[in-house]
Amino acid sequence: MQPTPPSGSEGPDDFGWEPGSVALAGPGSDGEPDDTENEPVRDWAWVEEWRESGERPAWAPGVAVAVFTGLVVGMAVLVLSKGLASMPWLAVSSNVLVALGLAPALWLSRHLPVLRWVSAGAAAGVLIAWIGALIS
């Protein structure tokens, strides 16, 4: 069973949704064979438009976003480390869990136009917080 497009919409909308492109259930759950293995992987419509335009990255706002994200993530990791300083094994294990939880999202977003700056800032914030926790 395929979802129906919003009323008055015949083609893709602003978010790249095309009729018949989203399944409501998992592959093969309706008895049909799974054809998703042979389909090429596509990016979101806005990412494809950006890549086709050849537009260069906006460095000034990107660096500002990266610095802000780095400060927020770095302070969160540093507060976590300092709060658990009396139990070093718990501090180390919680920092490893936080880093392992962030790693997949940061890795997947490193090539997306805006999210690459968030990814870089978060990664730098974690590393700087770990260095700050070791020094103090």
Domain ranges, ordered by start, for the chain: 58-135
Q: Check whether 12 has a pLDDT greater than 60.
A: no
Cα(40)–Cα(87) distance, rounded to whole angstroms?
49
Q: Check whether 43 has a pLDDT greater than 90.
A: no
Q: Check whether 17 has a pLDDT greater than 70.
A: no
The dihedral of CA 20, 23, 28, 29: what is its sign? negative
Rg of the chain in Å (alpha carbons): 21
**Which 8-state DSSP code applies to residue 3?**
P
| Each residue's pLDDT tens digit, 67-118 | 999 999 999 999 999 999 899 999 999 999 999 999 999 998 888 888 899 9
Residues whose CB falls within 8 Å of the CB of residue 2, separated by 6 or more in sequence, listed in order: 19, 20, 22, 23, 24
Tokens standing for residue 64: 């500002």
Q: Check whether 28 has a pLDDT greater than 70.
A: no
* C-beta atoms surrounding 132 within 10 Å: 15
